[in-house]
Amino acid sequence: MTPIGADDLEAAILRHLVYTIGKDKDHASTHDWRMAASYAVRDAVVDSWFAATRQTYEQKGKRVYYLSMEFLMGRLLDDALVNLGLHDKIKDVLARHGIALDDVIGDEPDAALGNGGLGRLAACFLDSMATLRCPGMGYGIRYEHGLFRQRFEGGRQVETPEDWLTQPHPWEFERPEANYTVPFKGWVETVDGRAIWHPSESVLARAYDTPVVGWQGTWANTLRLWAAHPTELFDLERFNAGDHTAAAAPEALARTLSRVLYPEDTTDSGKELRLKQEFFLTSATLQDMLRRFLSEYDDLALLPEKVAIQMNDTHPALAGPELIRLLVDEHGLDWSDARKIAGQCLNYTNHTLLPEALERWSTWLMGRVLPRHMQIIERIDAEHVAATKCPEHLRIVWHDQVHMGTLAFVMARHVNGVSALHTDLMKDTVFAELNAAYPGRILNQTNGVTPRRWLRLSNPGLSAVITDTIEAGWENDLGRLSELVRHESDALHAAIRAAKRANKEAFAAWVQAEMGVTLNPDAMFDVQVKRIHEYKRQLMNVLETIARWAAIRRDPGADWVPRVKVFGGKAAPGYATAKQVIRLVNDVARVVNADPVVGDRLKVVYPPNYNVSMAQRLIPAADLSEQISTAGKEASGTGNMKFTMNGALTIGTLDGANVEIREHVGAENFFLFGMTAEEVQACYRKPDHARAAILQSQVLQDVLQMLAEGRFSPEEPTRYHGLVDMTWNHDSFLVASDFDAYMAAQAEVDAAYADTARWDAMVLQNIAGSGYFSSDRTIRGYMDEVWHTKALG
Ligand code: 26V
């Protein structure tokens, strides 16, 4: 990348302001400046983007196709500025015109095309692939409405549609020439042994490309998102015959297909529209991949040498049958060649073992929406059964359902889990028999996060301390953070503490402005942010909050370590229990924050609409990271890694990547509690586990009693009877059985925080030990062991 001087940058911004936006600088709004700045910065990305594409063609590099129904990108301007090293320059340039960079950055809506961990992981992977010069493209759907916006009304979650595309999106390039027809429904006939599919519906997939630039701007890859358009505007014959609704059907299908992101991230909802979305992504992407491949090579047998396809969970698992269909039906290959080629190109990442999240489609729906694919799936299944002699329940099609996990597993060359523990559990539980049938197929790639966004960009204060101490270069070589330990000194501790303190002050000011709650920056900021799920046990955290509140009231004069409890996250709109937990947190916050006896010793805040941008402001301000899922349920977690990197200590269970975080930062620098995954299994076998645990714990009994009496909902005393009853009688995630251990660990946290020298030393070990959790390390693992691909020079 050629370095850009401040004057050139200024000229580019002013030029875009006038000639692209059509505004005179004296009358330009913050929005206008944001658009102009984005176009100017985008110009700087485009050169390396073209260079990267050219190099990939010239060197005949192997390309990675990362298929994901979700990409949780967040804001793009701030990220590009940091990667290009233009942050300070543009700040000065805008200041010359009386414009604050933070306002300009804050004007950009988050690209919230994802639900949570899986979608954010995809975004971090794109950043790391660009940084490592790994030729690859992310493929997804250009949803008009990303994840819903969350508000609270009377403490209850209310969802409103998200509308990031109502304003023009300056980072994307529409590609009207890259259009593919995606067919649905209809019937299949067989002529001379060959299948001919006659679809009765279709939509056009149109590409929109966003360049994704890596560290220091030397390489950029593409995120290609598909938008659905009607293949024909309307059926004039039908319209003239008076059937207006039917005449508009193609347009209606196209309008709905890429309209909204599904906000459910656990329950497999089985909706036809969702299946169509999954096929839309998959088919358009594979057609695009084959077109690109055939523009360079003429022998489809070379495909596995030149292409690796990654299925991000089972959502794009139709890639198996669709690739075979394209190769056999459209390109005339034999079944056996096509089956072999597909099996060498495809890989599958599993992100959850929760049974309710494993996708299944009824054969009836699959056969109706994708009749040709149903035939192909049956044949893949027959060959799978013949080759492995597996029992009935390991079939892809079983009990009239297509099991997408089994389909993805059978079609994939490599199948991976997302943390060491999760991968072991895949091998021992859900995928044990498939693992035996296909030995060696499962491997581990522990997740990571990009240190550019999650440290350098979100935490400039700490980043400066790190650079001052070990010099620059850690941003794309995060293992170097371990060097911090050699420089341990009071001065370093003080500098890190000061950076944290500044972040806490900034966060407190934001909470004051947004929510009208005053936070004391000296208090410990204790944070749990993530989707609301029973297995993540936000309920256990609220119950501990209540116990703490009651204890402070009983003895306000004791030596309390002041705490701020911060909650954040959305519940799926149909997930009633999760929504009750949200309401409870808000009810508890109302009571606690208004209690004059408690004062600064405890505050509870739940800022609404947690998203990537809120995470960037909140995580750097955290002292304590809550990673308290029931052991064996959280596949990896990635928030846990971001907190560690930003110098928060973890209170957590031996679950997902917590296990590896603890190994890297040292057991003595991690607040461990709770049952292991094995003990959890044993506990489930005791029918009375919750009741027994509650009867052993006076504190828990008291807390549940307060809830039952309506202490936090006096206007409706029975409001939380459901949660209380659940804890006593169907405590599926063992909140009761782990509660006392959690309380004890929280007491240890208090003691450690009160000892500043001890806390500072623990923080340093956490930051220094977090280098392993860079997504650069993860992507290197995929390149070497899954994709078998090399970085380009
Ligand atoms: C599941 C489903 C089920 C069908 C309906 C739509 C839908 C949408 C999303 C999901 C995803 C659930 C899986 C997921 O997000 N897993 C998370 O993946 C993270 C990245 O690997 C990991 O860190 C988290 O532990 C894991 O919960």
Each residue's pLDDT tens digit, 553-607: 999 999 999 999 999 999 999 999 999 999 999 999 999 999 999 999 999 999 9
Residue 541 has pLDDT above 80, yes or no: yes
Task: Please state the rounded mean pLDDT for residues 243-265.
Answer: 88
Instruction: Give yes or no for residue 612 CB within 6 A of ligand 1.
Output: no
Ligand 1 binding pocket mutation candidate from 636, 641, 658 (most atoms within 8 A of CB): 636
Instruction: Give yes or no for residue 147 CB within 6 A of ligand 1.
Output: no
| Exposure b/e, 703-741, CB count within 10 A at least 16 = b | bbebbbebbbbeeeeebbeebbebbbeebebbbbbbbbe
Ligand 1 binding pocket mutation candidate from 66, 71, 115, 314 (most atoms within 8 A of CB): 115
- Residue 251 confidence (pLDDT): 86
Instruction: Give yes or no for residue 118 CB within 6 A of ligand 1.
Output: yes
Instruction: Render pLDDT for 225-236 as a digit per residue (tens, 0 to 9).
Output: 999 999 976 677
Instruction: Give yes or no for residue 271 CB within 6 A of ligand 1.
Output: no
What atom in ligand 1 is closest to the CA of residue 349? 21
Ligand 1 centroid–CA 778 distance in Å is 18
- Indicate the burial class of 165 (C-beta count within 10 angstroms; 0-12, 13-18, 19 or more): middle
Confidence category of residue 1, pLDDT binned at 50, 70, 90:
low
Instruction: Render pLDDT for 392-449 as a digit per residue (tens, 0 to 9).
Output: 999 999 999 999 999 999 999 999 999 999 999 999 999 999 999 999 999 999 999 9
DSSP 8-state symbol, 519: -
What lies within 8 Å, CB to CB, of 483 at 6+ separation is 469, 470, 768
Give the separation between CA 404 and CA 410, rounded to whole angstroms: 10
pTM for the model stands at 0.98
In one-letter notation, the amino acid at residue 596 is: P
Instruction: Render pLDDT for 734-769 as a digit per residue (tens, 0 to 9).
Output: 999 999 999 999 999 999 999 999 999 999 999 999
Q: Is 347:413 a contact under the CB 8 Å cutoff?
A: yes
Strand runs labelled E in 121-270: 136-141, 149-153, 156-160, 173-184, 187-191, 194-198, 201-213, 220-230
Q: Is 110:164 a contact under the CB 8 Å cutoff?
A: yes
Ligand 1 centroid–CA 570 distance in Å is 14
Ligand 1 binding pocket mutation candidate from 148, 275, 351 (most atoms within 8 A of CB): 351
Instruction: Render pLDDT for 688-712 as a digit per residue (tens, 0 to 9).
Output: 999 999 999 999 999 999 999 999 9
Instruction: Give yes or no for residue 178 CB within 6 A of ligand 1.
Output: no
Instruction: Give yes or no for residue 697 CB within 6 A of ligand 1.
Output: no
Ligand 1 centroid–CA 214 distance in Å is 25
State residue 754 phi and psi, 5-degree precision.
-70, -20
Give the separation between CA 153 and CA 159, rounded to whole angstroms: 10
Task: Find tokens 């096929």 and name the residue.
Answer: 279
Instruction: Give yes or no for residue 569 CB within 6 A of ligand 1.
Output: no
Of 114, 64, 139, 67, the residue nearest 311 (C-alpha): 67
Active site (catalytic) residues: 351, 530-531, 536, 638, 642
Q: Is 480:645 a contact under the CB 8 Å cutoff?
A: no
Q: Is 366:318 a contact under the CB 8 Å cutoff?
A: no
Of 464, 472, 452, 474, the residue nearest 503 (C-alpha): 464
What atom in ligand 1 is closest to the CA of residue 422? 25
- Indicate the burial class of 755 (C-beta count within 10 angstroms; 0-12, 13-18, 19 or more): exposed
Chain centroid to Cα 645, Å, comes to 17
Give the separation between CA 128 and CA 450, rounded to whole angstroms: 7
- Residue 303 confidence (pLDDT): 98
- Residue 233 confidence (pLDDT): 63
Atom 8, ligand 1: which residue's CA is nearest? Answer: 265
Instruction: Give yes or no for residue 72 CB within 6 A of ligand 1.
Output: no
